[in-house]
Amino acid sequence: MRNFIEFQKKLQPDVLDVMEKRYRILQYLRLMQPVGRRTLAGSLEVSERVLRGEVLFLKDQGLVYIGASGMTLTEEGENLLAGLEETMKSVTGLADMEKRVADTLQVQRVIIVPENSDRYSWVKKELGRACVQQMKEMLVPDDIVAVAGGTTLADVAEMMTPDSNFNNVTFVPARGGLGEKVEIQANTISSTMATKANGKYRLLHVPDQLSKETRESLVLEPGIKELLRSIRHAKMVVHGVGAASTMAERRETKEETLDTLEQKQAVAEAFGYYFDKSGHIVHKEKTIGLQLDDLQENQTVVTVAGGASKGEAITAYMKYRPSDVLITDEGASQAILGLL
């Protein structure tokens, strides 16, 4: 197949260009359906006139349905997308990029979705879809999944769908609340995932940041103590990576801590830990929930983060502890390879 694709590139490169364009339309429809033509044209940055011709072709092929509420994929369209995924990664060079990023960061498996989530909001949904697919492949009934908070993980929850492998799977928050928007807190995300997956969930009803005395008292409470044990023994941990400055702002961090982060040149945050470019921990928030030291060899750690602006943060975190699976996008991957 690889040789055939290379021959086509030489003999009929325009065929591959058309194929890639139509694949991208189907890909966007899968994420945003039902969607109108004007919205689709704006998101893909093509004219409505050009898009109209492509959509009519896809409709004639039985891949797209056009209804009153907008365009949706047919079952045949869904199946075509799934079957073409690996081929398109080879055509576009993403398969090679996945290997290069994996080798660079020493990550067992890297999954790259097209485009840059800093530029296109729909790419975060594609990150979410890719993460959900990995969860379906790796989890079995009765497993426990610890889920962190953040905007990217909220998109993972949005893309969640039921699966037989999620039977009796319990979703738990990796940590307490950050005092931020409730929809991107770990409690909300884990409960949303469980509801959409037809699984189970438990909540951690404590703020993320507490005084030392309050924290030490709370972790001795029987209910919280037992839940923390479940979180630390989760089969899978799914988390994001943030830019240090962004996360510090979200946490309404004290001025003196902000000064420390700036002085020590923090660039990344994960699990309440801040890292410099070399992957050294330069600050740690005192939180209730999953700590980096709690991660075990028999757990599968999945990192989901995209956007060129996060390339440096992802690289810094992976220098400290490479994950088992990194799900990212083309923009972040180009930034990572450019840095190293």
Task: Give the integer Cα–Cα distance in Å for 156 and 135.
Answer: 10
Asked if 148 and 135 touch (Cβ cutoff 8 Å), the reply is: no
Predicted TM-score (pTM) of this structure: 0.90
229 has pLDDT over 70:
yes
The pLDDT tens digits for 235-277 are 999 999 999 999 888 877 788 888 999 999 999 999 989 999 9
Q: Residue 12: what pLDDT?
A: 67
pLDDT, tens digit (0-9, with 9 covering 90-100), for 198-223: 999 999 887 766 666 767 777 778 78
Contacts of residue 125, defined as CB under 8 A and 6 or more positions apart, other chains included, come to: 31, 32, 155, 158, 159
Spell out the domains of the chain, with CATH numbers in brackets: 1-87 (1.10.10.10), 93-338 (3.40.50.1360)
Q: Determine the Cα–Cα distance for residues 69 and 28; give it in Å rounded to an integer.
A: 16
